[in-house]
């Protein structure tokens, strides 16, 4: 679907990471994230090692650093929040750059920033190397309820359409001189939201009828079966295995 | 703002994950009752609507802008079960594919922003509607009350999770004060937009508003010659 979110996230390519089956990559991501979040926050070197692992994955997948950095902007609000933590947390204080801050707050901010950022980068790499549709197939392979996968795939397919519809309404509002200045302009925006809901719902009804006329009985056929070979599983397992080694090292020290 | 990885400790995140899975499971069963075999396309399109509407920014005081969470709105428009499901699907997509909100905090995010806002918002909506006269004009008022309380309620539940499993030693009073204070303001914006959106849908397609079913007066048949 054109105009969908897919274009901004996915980087088409033919690297070894791109070619791995989606469910292998999903499990690798989950394993990696679990290892990072359960690492004690005082093991500073371990987080450097995790970051290095992700850098290797990015290099193998040929995803440039600039792309990852741009996509990381999504975490800006919580970075601001983490920067506040040293000033509001309790406990013994330390002097940093002439400022008196809470020791625990400083560690807490580091904890959230390090673990959060690693999670975001890992997620960005997954989305950059896997088509969203393939990811949904991967989720189905991992035994997510089929109805949930269907709902997600419809949301994905029509997300771009609905968003574009909203964009056209915004252009229509603004070309008639509308400027949203404060809460007094709410009724106009809310009427657009109402119209958007009606259009979305009616489109849903039309889609359902179109599906019925093509023989829909409640389940979607799986057109391409992606079976993972042992070699592919092994390749996908290298990231969580390396992370597990770092994690064990961090716990033993 | 979605909760990132490492913000709340493991056991509490896992506990919230169990609540979220249960919530989604109940939502899936209930949505089949609300929408029968149309569930997949309709819930999918409503989820896309929630996703789009969350991009609709409205200006709040001081140059900042807020956006709709949409839990109460979705529950009133399409029913509570489908509402939970749609918000959960939106959060799932954002967490899995857009790296917005941590993967291990997915359960927390779904519990707080999906289950709590819908249960509190829709519950209060029903309660308020029961107290008001059974007319279409009562619907936006009840929607206002439901949405108004749902957002600070979500902030309270966040504070509760933080009190049990927060990874940083911030006094609970400070967290509660900041979270609830900010979210009371956000709740007012949410309430205004929710009420206005519901009333605009009600004006055009009253049959689509799930929360207003049974309020319309039954149509009566009159012959041409009849006078009143």
Taking chain A (253 residues) in consecutive chunks of 10 residues, what is each chunk's mean pLDDT? 52 81 88 87 86 89 84 75 74 69 79 85 87 83 84 85 89 88 77 88 87 81 73 83 84 76
Question: What is residue B119's predicted lDDT score, i.e. its pLDDT?
Answer: 93
Of A5, A102, A187, the CB nearest to B196: A187
What is the chain B residue with the closest CA to A122?
B99
Interface of A with B in 50-79 (CB under 8 A): 71-72, 74-75, 77-78
Closest CA to B167 of B12, B4, B11, B9: B9
pLDDT at B67 over 80: no
A35 touches chain B (CB under 8 A): no
Of A88, A120, A154, the CB nearest to B40: A154
Question: What is residue A3's predicted lDDT score, i.e. its pLDDT?
Answer: 40
More confident call, B142 vs A77: B142
Interface of A with B in 142-181 (CB under 8 A): 145, 147-148, 150-159, 161-163, 165-166, 180-181
- Reading phi first (left if > 0) and then psi (alpha if -120 to 50, else beta), residue A128 is in alpha
What is the chain B residue with the closest CA to A68?
B99
Q: How many CB pairs under 8 A join A and B?
A: 252
Residue of A102, A188, A204, A221 to mutate for B, most B C-beta atoms under 10 A: A204
Question: What is residue B65's predicted lDDT score, i.e. its pLDDT?
Answer: 57
pLDDT at B185 over 90: no
**What domains, with CATH codes, occur in chain B?**
10-210 (1.10.1760.20)
A81 touches chain B (CB under 8 A): yes
Question: What is residue A6's predicted lDDT score, i.e. its pLDDT?
Answer: 46
Mean predicted confidence (pLDDT) in B47-59? 78
ipTM of the complex: 0.81
What is the chain A residue with the closest CA to B40?
A151
Lowest-confidence segment of B27-41, B62-76, B123-137 by average pLDDT: B62-76
Residue pair B70/B120 in contact by the 8 Å Cβ criterion: no
Question: What is residue A225's predicted lDDT score, i.e. its pLDDT?
Answer: 67
Closest CA to A169 of A187, A193, A204: A193
Of B45, B55, B99, the CB nearest to A154: B45
Of A9, A108, A162, the CB nearest to B97: A9
Q: Chain B closest CA to A65's CA: distance in Å?
A: 16
Cα torsion B151, B155, B158, B160 to 10°: value is -120
A93 touches chain B (CB under 8 A): no
- Residue B214, φ and ψ in degrees, nearest 5: 85, 0
Of A78, A132, A166, the CB nearest to B56: A166
Query: Which residues on chain A are in Cβ contact (under 8 Å) with B56?
Result: 166, 189, 192-193
Cβ burial, residue B42 (10 Å; 0-12/13-18/19+): buried
Q: Chain A closest CA to B44's CA: distance in Å?
A: 4
Subunit contact B169:A91, Cβ cutoff 8 A: yes
Question: What is residue B121's predicted lDDT score, i.e. its pLDDT?
Answer: 93
More confident call, A218 vs B70: B70
Closest CA to A136 of B89, B159, B200, B71: B89
Question: What is residue A231's predicted lDDT score, i.e. its pLDDT?
Answer: 83
* Alpha-carbon span B188 to B148, nearest angstrom: 6
Beta carbons within 8 Å of B175's beta carbon, 6+ residues apart: B159, B162, B163, B166
């Amino acid at each position: 679907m054109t105009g969908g979110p897919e274009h901004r996230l996915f980087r088409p390519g033919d690297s070894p990471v791109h070619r791995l089956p989606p469910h292998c990559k999903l499990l690798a991501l989950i394993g990696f994230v679990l290892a990072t979040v359960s690492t004690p926050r005082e093991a500073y070197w371990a987080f450097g090692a995790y970051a290095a692992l992700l850098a290797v994955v990015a290099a193998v997948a040929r995803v440039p650093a600039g792309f990852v950095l741009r996509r990381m902007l999504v975490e800006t609000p919580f970075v601001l929040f983490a920067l506040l933590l040293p000033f509001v947390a309790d406990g013994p204080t330390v002097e940093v750059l002439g400022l008196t801050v809470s020791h625990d707050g400083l560690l807490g901010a580091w904890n959230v920033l390090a673990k959060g950022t690693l999670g975001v980068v890992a997620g960005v790499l997954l989305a950059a190397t896997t088509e969203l549709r393939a990811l949904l197939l991967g989720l189905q392979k991992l035994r997510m309820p089929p109805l949930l996968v269907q709902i997600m795939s419809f949301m994905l397919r029509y997300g771009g359409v609905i968003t574009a519809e909203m964009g056209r309404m915004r252009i229509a509002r603004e070309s008639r001189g509308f400027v949203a200045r404060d809460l007094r302009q709410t009724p106009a925006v809310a009427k657009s939201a109402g119209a958007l809901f009606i259009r979305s719902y009616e489109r849903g009804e039309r889609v359902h009828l179109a599906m019925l006329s093509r023989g829909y009985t409640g389940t979607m056929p799986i057109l391409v079966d992606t079976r993972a070979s042992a070699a592919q599983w092994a390749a996908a397992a290298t990231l969580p295995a390396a992370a597990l080694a770092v994690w064990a090292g961090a716990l033993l020290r | 703002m979605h909760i990132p990885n490492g913000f709340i400790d493991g056991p509490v995140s896992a506990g919230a994950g169990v609540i979220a899975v249960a919530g989604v499971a109940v939502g899936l069963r209930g949505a089949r009752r609300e929408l029968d075999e149309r569930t997949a396309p309709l819930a999918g399109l409503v989820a896309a609507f929630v996703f789009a509407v969350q991009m609709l920014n409205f200006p709040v005081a001081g140059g900042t802008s807020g956006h709709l969470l949409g839990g109460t709105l979705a529950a009133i428009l399409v029913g509570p079960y489908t509402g939970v499901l749609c918000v959960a699907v939106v959060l799932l997509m954002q967490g899995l594919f857009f790296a917005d909100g941590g993967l291990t905090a997915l359960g927390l995010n779904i519990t707080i922003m999906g289950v709590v806002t819908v249960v509190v918002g829709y519950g209060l909506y029903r309660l308020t509607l029961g107290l008001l006269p059974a007319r279409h004009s009562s619907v936006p008022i009840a929607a206002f009350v439901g949405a108004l309380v749902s957002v600070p309620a979500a902030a309270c539940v966040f504070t509760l999770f933080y009190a049990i499993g927060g990874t940083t030693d911030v006094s609970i009073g400070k967290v509660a004060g900041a979270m609830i204070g900010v979210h009371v303001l956000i709740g007012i914006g949410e309430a205004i937009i929710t009420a206005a959106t519901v009333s605009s849908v009600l004006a055009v397609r009253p049959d689509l508003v799930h929360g207003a079913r049974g309020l319309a007066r039954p149509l009566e048949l009159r012959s041409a010659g009849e006078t009143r």
